[in-house]
Amino acid sequence: MNIASQTTFIKQKAKQLGFDYCGIAKAEFLDEDAKRLESWLQQGFHGKMQYMENNFDLRTDPSKLVPGAKSVITLMQNYYPQQVQKTDRPKISKYAYGKDYHEVIRALLNEFLNAIKENIGDVNGRGFVDSAPVLEKTWANKTGLGWVGKNGMLITKQSGSFFFIATLITDLDLTADDPFAKDFCGSCTRCIDNCPTDAILPNKVINGSQCISYFTIELKDEILPEEMKGRFQNWAFGCDICQDVCPWNRFSKPTREAAFEPLPEILNLSTKEWLELDEEAFRKFFKHSPIKRTKWKGLQRNLRFVQR
């Protein structure tokens, strides 16, 4: 195949696999992102997420992840649910309603790479889905899929921001898409105004150490900071406030991926049942759910904190 044919195959295969968006960028060193990331880390906005300090050069140079890298393919899959929790329940972030997206999308990336090798030839490539030092949102912007909003999320004009982002770095020479050059947030500050912990700062800077998702998922301390008491608005795992209030998410459409449909327990458990959930039941219900990341003890800590 020539470059044009290879590019067409990539786009068509992505659609066949169920990805909602596919964009391509030339693999290059992310100079501006390197500066921003260094400043973000120096200000301690990563909190106790020490892993963010690791592999700095890998985050900004795709050739360090895939030698000879020429193209970065960004893939996006919608996870917006058909049904949402009742408002009186401990809140779970929508991305965690269904099966663990790492498992679902990793399998698709493996299938994608195998199809590329079968149809194009001996291709060197690696797929990543929130599991390696890749700046997914930057690449999504560079591949023309959307812009990074004030809440730090990748936003599309057509469907909002409720998407998982995966990255496929290869040594294939492909036709690059034009970057998404505009920012359609305008003067809107709804995400900033509605963040109860003031984690969203000006100039699209997110203080990760103040985010509800950080406290309820990333932070492993046995006790949550007392100064945050009463500010979580009943979020027990993650937080969607900055996405829920975003005007662009009025265009969100329910996912077509059955694996991301809500688990019955997430929709149906009452507050009392969440609090009485024992470790055995937790492991059974959430064996293939992102919620397992916080472990039973972590979820119980969160539930007690928001209900106290």
Among all residues, which ones are annotated catalytic? 130
Q: How far is CA 252 from CA 3, 79, 155, 259, in A?
A: 34, 9, 11, 18
The residue count for the chain: 308
Buried b (16+ CB within 10 A) or exposed e, 206-221: bbbbbbbbbbbbbbee
Residue linked to tokens 């790479």: 113
**3-16 helix and 101-119 helix, angle to the nearest 10 degrees:** 140
Are 143 and 132 in contact by the 8 Å Cβ rule? The answer is: no
Q: Which two tokens stand for residue 247?
A: 């005007």
3-state helix, strand, coil in the chain (%, to 5): 45, 15, 45
Count CA atoms closer than 13 A to 54's CA, side-chain side: 7
Separation between Cα atoms, residue 58 and residue 62, nearest integer Å: 7
290: nearest Cα among 212, 206, 218: 218
